[in-house]
Amino acid sequence: MLDTGPDLSERLFSDIDFSDGAIAAVSGGSDSTALLILLKAHLDRTAPATRLLAVTIDHDLRPGSATEARDVARLCTKRGIAHRTIVWSGEKPSSGLPAAAREARYRLLAEAAAAEGIGLILTGHTADDQAETVLMRQVRHEGASDDGRGLAGMAPATLYNWRHWIVRPFLGTRRATLRDVLRRQNIGWAEDPTNVDQHFERPRVRATLAGDDGARRFAEATASAGQAAASREELGQRAAMLMRDLAGMPVPGLIRLDPAFAAPGDAEAATYALPILLATVGGVAFLPDAARSRALFERLRAGPLCATLSRTVIDARRSGIFLRRESRGLPEAAPAVNTDLWDGRRRITLGDTQGALLIAPLGTAAAAKRAVGEDGAPPSLVRAALAAEPALWRGAECLGFPREGAALAEIGVVPAVAPFARFLPSFDLAPAEAVARLIGAPPLPALPFHGHSAGR
């Protein structure tokens, strides 16, 4: 339901847990400026000691961006709000600029949050943004082979880098309502010229929503998003149940699915779970093509097979369906330093360790000494899976896996749920939590809403 009542701040923010503070992303446009004003009013009334930091990301793409950032800083000073401007420096890509700017914006916001010890970031995305997003994705979905996941639009909360929650409290609020709030308080805002630049897809869609048929299209898009979100969450719950009941991990890097996974039953949930498992094992950020995933599932139902998809080898036998990272394209040996994602699958931390250590796949020779069949896993598959796992080396000498001995105790390798490692929409909490438990990834941080926890 759209929120158009008089006391917006109470309705918008009362369910959010601000106990650890908040970062407000403020560009200077109407939506983010309203976010700042309404959030400040809410915190002053309900929790005045809460840490609030406004952060402006200057993408340095337009001549007026620095001036807009200074205007936000002046507004924050007037309102007694701490503020930082962070410039996206360096070369900008010649293609895919909107996506690159989005990634840079969230990365820089997360860095600011980490520096302050804050896990919550709020953005000003509105119901108008949601409708535009859904309409754009509907066009891409027509005739495509994806599973329609994107038709749910933007999630009310998204976990970034498995650490920071990005919350969008305005997804049920129209932009016009927020601008009325600012006008009543005589607060101005900046107009980004790219918002009306018809060279970009979103401004073109925005123009159609402002046309004669815009109200109907808006209502249909928001209703469609709500239905798609509910369906996606329900299907995710069923997929998570399948993974909890039918998936195991005999050794690191090897997942075994019970043959019942491909048996007649909840095929819809199984075909939803399978791409998530494949991307996780293969260390791929994007889920494999839905049509190819469905075709693979049908082949699994037909009997034994050996196939590869999303850098994952699928070996289906009578004893189970085994998933492991394929041996091609593994990382070369490199200095053992802190890394965000090694091979897309593992996060590496070094602690205080110093020295000339390398990290590289264990390899088949070293894996052969460790391969012991467990949980019905054939030794050959155990060897192949372990061979792709990251190990510590000194020159040509394999020292073993991190944490195995006192000398390696300061080096940690933690599994990552690859398709959700960077962005995890709250729609997908249940399957993400199930996979995290399966592979031994860190638990999800609690949802930033009162009375909620991760995966629920």
Model pLDDT for residues 283-299, shown as the tens digit of each residue: 999 999 989 999 999 99
């899976």: which residue's tokens? 385
CA dist., res. 319 & res. 322, Å (int): 9
For 281-337, how does the pLDDT look when each residue is reduced to its tens digit (9 = 90+)? Answer: 999 999 999 899 999 999 999 889 999 999 999 999 999 999 999 999 999 988 877
pLDDT given at position 2: 45
CA dist., res. 17 & res. 7, Å (int): 19
Q: In the chain, which stretches have pLDDT less than 50?
A: 1-6, 454-456
For 130-154, how does the pLDDT look when each residue is reduced to its tens digit (9 = 90+)? Answer: 998 998 888 877 655 556 788 899 9
pLDDT given at position 392: 84
pLDDT given at position 348: 84
Query: 244-268 burial by CB neighbour count: b if 16+ within 10 A, else e?
Result: eebbbbbbbbbbbbbeebbeeebee
254-257 and 320-325 beta bridge pairing: antiparallel
pLDDT given at position 212: 77
CA distances to 251, 366, 417 from 438, in Å: 11, 25, 10
> In this structure, what token pair is assigned to residue 158?
């998204």
pLDDT given at position 358: 84
pLDDT given at position 3: 46
**Domains of the chain listed by start with CATH number:** 8-210 (3.40.50.620), 334-415 (no CATH)
CA distances to 128, 154, 398 from 370, in Å: 56, 45, 13
